[in-house]
Structure 1
Amino acid sequence: MSRGLPDEAGAIRLRRDLPEAEWRWITRLRRPEDRLRSLVGRVLARRLLGQRLGLAPGAVPLDTGPHGKPMLAVPTPAWHFNIAHSGDLVLVGAGPQPLGVDVEHCPDTVDADLWRLVTGRADTAPDPRTFCAHWVRREAVLKACGLGLRAEPGTLRLSEPDDGGWTPVAGRPEVEGLQVRLLQATPDHCAALCLTNTPAPGAWTLKTLALADWA
């Protein structure tokens, strides 16, 4: 996970890792901060994938999946990745199986309507961090199966986590068999990872770097 957004000079340096067509797509985003977050996420993903494929970041062949999800173009070896961002945080997951990630800053308050929308539950809304932990896990699941914003997070059902923190997911045919866990939960933000198979203990860890440490 990267913390911080680049200034103009930093953005120019990062752009060198992108094909021109991908940069043109980013420039069509309306808000400047959205352009910077997308730039950081795409470059970080390309660098992670490039290390695994033995390619320069700009040479990593990316394509768009059936629901708009970025993916490696066939016949590239089977690596998967996913990007999420919130504020100045950009989270990228990369691995040998389909996955989804999400990161969100915790809201200041949570009302009953928002709690019901995200979880499908009608009980009293909890504190913001507990809510955020529910939110990111569900968003990571919807991204892993390719549904994204086309499905309500409240339709998902999360079981109790196992000893490793992994939670089985149910509630829709598309999510059966998926496993999700929190990567991080602080008073400021939460992050989650969803996979198709439960990995070995310690196989997935979250590394947080300041933008200047990798860019």
Structure 2
Amino acid sequence: MTAPWIVALRGLPDEEQAQRLRRDLPDAEWQWIARLRQPQDRLRSLLGRALARRLLASRMDLSPERVPLTTGLHGKPLLAAAPGTAPAWHFSIAHSGDQVLVAVGPHALGVDVETCPDSVDVALFRFATGREPDRSEVFRAGGSEAPTLDTQAFCAEWVCREAVLKACGQGLLIEPGRLRLQACGQGWQQVAGPPEVCGQHVRLLWTSPAHCAAVSLPAPRDDWRLTRLDLDAWLAGPGTPT
């Protein structure tokens, strides 16, 4: 399968499940995760890395712990490749709350998932979008003069921009508000702005009052695939879907 494939898992592993997933990682990778201070951060990182390794392993005919991962520019995790060559596969990991999202494909890509915030102030909205909120994005709660912004609309904008920056390996080195998104059909938006992001395309995977998620690819495609599963169902299944 060469089409981009995105797998979203809901739920975090318990201790027994975490022990099983740790076997998918080399010791050095687990030691890095173990240094994270918050237990839920460790579980999210463990699940994301294990899922990415299993998806790559199924394409490379390797066991998950033998998939050769490395770190690229600005800390982006990458599949190792021979000097002067591009990796055969690319992947991206995102997680928020009880959601873990991994994408694998033949070209550079990025995914992001975020929990919708309880509130958004105008300054954060400007930073994330590079513009002022329009009337459809502002509410007046209880007759108050203080604006309350549409948190789901904000989250949908944020994940699109984060997915683009992750695809390009930029993280927050570029302010998300510097990106300009223009609808170009079938749910895709073309990206303009700094040279590092020009030509990328992004689309929402889903949007809800709880979570939003997006994927960014070098060009629009209609053969991408999204699989959403509960963690327990995935671990209890016949094996990692391929």
**1:88 corresponds to:** 98
Residue in 2 aligned with 1:139? 162
1:198 aligns with 2:220: yes
* C-alpha deviation, 1:66, in angstroms: 1.6
The equivalences for 1:4-23 within 5 A come to 4-23=11-30
Q: Which structure is larger by alpha-carbon Rg, 1 or 2?
A: 2
Residue number in structure 1 paired with 2:127: 117
Query: Do 1:183 and 1:205's aligned partners in 2 also have CA atoms closer than 8 Å?
Result: no
| Counterpart selection for 1:180 from 191, 202, 205 | 202
Report how many aligned residue pairs link the two structures: 212
Instruction: From the two aligned structures, give the one with the greater strand fraction.
Output: 2
The whole-number CA distance in structure 2 between the counterparts of 1:149 and 1:213 is 34
2:125 match: secondary structure: helix
- Shift, 1:123, TM fit: 2.9
CA RMSD of aligned residues (A): 1.3
Deviations 1:63-102 (A, max 9, x none): 1002110000113851000000000100000000000000
Deviates more, 1:23-32 or 1:71-80: 71-80
Normalised TM-score (structure 2): 0.85
- Which residue of structure 1 lines up, in the alignment, with residue 143 of structure 2? none
Decide which of 232, 235, 239 is 1:212's aligned counterpart. Answer: 232
Residue 39 of structure 2 is aligned to residue 28 of structure 1: no
Q: Does 1:48 align with 2:55?
A: yes
CA distance in 2, matches of 1:123, 1:189: 20
8 Å CA contact 2:108–2:218 kept in 1: the answer is yes
Q: Secondary structure of 1:107's match? A: coil
Residues 4-45 of structure 1 show CA distances to partners (whole Å, capped at 9, x for unaligned) of 111111111110111111101101111111110000000000
Report deviation, 1:205. 2.5
Provide the secondary structure at the position in 2 that maps to 1:154.
helix
> Relative contact order (C-alpha < 8 Å, sep 6+): which is higher?
2
The offset of 1:213, in angstroms, is 1.9
1:103 aligns with 2:113: yes
Separation (CA, whole Å) in 2 of partners of 1:149 and 1:29:
20
- Unmatched runs of 5 consecutive residues or more in structure 2: 1-7, 139-148, 236-242
Q: Which runs of 4+ in 1 moved over 2 A?
A: 123-126
The partner residue of 1:67 within 64, 67, 74 is 74
Q: Deviations over 1:156-203 (max 9, x none)?
A: 1101241x111000111101110000011112111000011222x2x1
d(CA) in 1 for partners of 2:234, 2:50: 11
Q: TM-score, structure 1 length as denominator?
A: 0.95
Gaps of 5+ in 1: none
Q: Give distance in 2, aligned partners of 1:34 and 1:150.
A: 22
Task: For residue 117 of structure 2, give the secondary structure of its aligned residue in structure 1.
Answer: coil
Compare 142-151 and 117-126 and name the one that shifted more.
117-126
Q: Which amino acid aligns with 1:53?
A: M
Match of 1:154 among 165, 172, 177: 177
CA contact (8 A) 2:34 2:42 kept: yes
